[in-house]
Amino acid sequence: MENRTEQLKKIKDEIVAAKNSPLYDFRIKNNFLPVIGEGDHYAKIMFIGEAPGKNEALTGRPFCGAAGRILDELLQSINLDRKNVYVTNIVKDRPPFNRDPLPEEIEFYSPFLIRQIEIIKPEVIATLGRFSMAYIIKNFGLESELKPISIMHGKIFSAEKVTIIPLYHPAVAIYNNSTKETLKKDFEILKSF
């Protein structure tokens, strides 16, 4: 049987070669890289954002710009090293103009995310932002729980074999400093895992 690293590499290879992706041409035209995910392949906590930004698409690394610095700071606030978690997005290529991911983009990339979750087997999925929150909540059969992120953030939802904790996207703290305090408080919940 293949180990987790080999299985995750297979996903990466498939995404790199996916000419049928709705964002493939945009990636190639701009010399962008797909952003698959990074971190511990045996992580207890998996963070899922919505889609890569420009810095991420240039480096192939998730959360490496301003939002990534905030994510790192939040992880440090609970004494958690980033290398001990796994960080990824639903959409693996950057949408143009940093716009929200379109439904067909989420539909195309989400099977890769589901495979990542099945390979890594996290105990906790911490969603970053409303798109990943809505997708994960629905995917794990908790649709009846779905409310705006302003209501759901920092709450704990139990699904089969995994705990889901919706969080604000770290980028909101760039524009609204009071959100950073809310994020810090919400991150405290992760300590117990």
Region 140-169: mean pLDDT is 96
What is the rounded distance in angstroms from the CA atom of residue 80 to the CA atom of residue 98? Answer: 29
pTM, two decimal places: 0.96
49 three-class SS: strand
Is the pLDDT assigned to residue 135 strictly greater than 80? Answer: yes
Region 101-130: mean pLDDT is 97
What is the rounded distance in angstroms from the CA atom of residue 110 to the CA atom of residue 129? Answer: 16
Average pLDDT, the chain: 95
In the chain the domains, ranked by start, together with CATH numbers, are 4-191 (3.40.470.10)
pLDDT given at position 1: 63
- Which tens digits make up the pLDDT trace of 37-67? 999 999 999 999 999 999 999 999 999 989 9
Q: How confident is the model at residue 90 (pLDDT cuts 50, 70, 90)?
A: very high
